[in-house]
Amino acid sequence: MDDQFNDFDDFDALEVAELPEPPPLPDVEEVLRLLNSDQVMERTQAARAFCELQDPRAIPRLLELLADDCPLVRVGVCYALGRNFCDGAIAPLIQLLEQDWNGYVRKGIVWTLGNCRDRRALAPLISSLRYDISAVRLWAASALGQLGAFEAIAPLIEALQQDPVAAVRSNCAWSLGRILPQNPLDHHLPLYRQAVQSLTHALNDEDLGVQTDVRDTIRRWGDHHMTHILEQMELQQGYCDL
C-alpha cells in the first residue's frame, strides 16, 4: 500500500495531457464574401462564423439576411447580430420576432435581444414569455432578467406560478433574482405581496431545480420577510445547502 502512495509523490512520473489548441478562426474576408453567396449552405456557414467573429462590415449584410428565405440562414444571422450588435438591429429583430414562423429563429432573436439589453425589447419579450413555445419562453425569461426592468417583475411572477415547463419556471426565478435587488418593492404594494406569495409557493415546486433557483433568488433579493420564511422552511425540512 505504501508503494502505491509513493507513486503519486513522484510528480516526474505523471504524464500531463496537453490541451489541444483551439481551431483557428475563419478568414474574415472569405466569410464576408460568403455572406453574399448564392448557395444557402455557404450563407448559413458565413452567418454562423460571425457568431464568433466581430467585424462592423458584416452588419449591413446581416441585417439584409434577416429576410433570407432559408430559416437556417436567419437563425445564424440572429445569433451573429448578438455578437456584432448595432442599435439599428433592434427594430428589425423585434419585427421578425412578431412575424417569423420558425421557433428556432424566434429563439435566436430573443437571445440576442437579451444580450443587447435595450428597453425597446421589453414588451416583445414579455409577449414571448406569455405566448410562445417553450423553447422561446425559456430564453425570454432569462432575457428579461438581463434587461433588469421593473416592468418585467409581474410577468415573471406570473410565469413562475403558471408555466407548465420547469425550465421556464427556473429561468423566471433566476431573472427575479437579478431584478428584485435592483428594484426594491414597497411592502405595501400589491406587487410585493404577489412576489412573496409566488416565491413562497415556488419553494415547494415539484421540480428540485426550480426550488434551488427560488432559494437563490430569495437570498439574492435580501428581503427580511422572505429570508425569514426561507429559514423557517429549511429548519422544518432539515435542509442543508452544501
Average pLDDT, the chain: 91
| Fold that domain 148-242 belongs to in CATH | Leucine-rich Repeat Variant (1.25.10)
pLDDT of res. 237 = 72
| Confidence band for 24, pLDDT divided at 50, 70 and 90 | confident
Does the pLDDT value for residue 7 go beyond 90? no
Where b means 16+ CB within 10 Å and e means fewer, 56-89 reads eebbebbbebbebeebbbbbbbbbbbbbbbeeeb
pLDDT of res. 8 = 40
CATH architecture, domain 26-147: Alpha Horseshoe (1.25)
Q: What percent of the chain has pLDDT over 70?
A: 89
Q: Tens digits of per-residue pLDDT, 136-157?
A: 999 999 999 999 999 999 999 9
pLDDT of res. 108 = 97
Residues of the chain with CATH 1.25.10.10: 26-147, 148-242
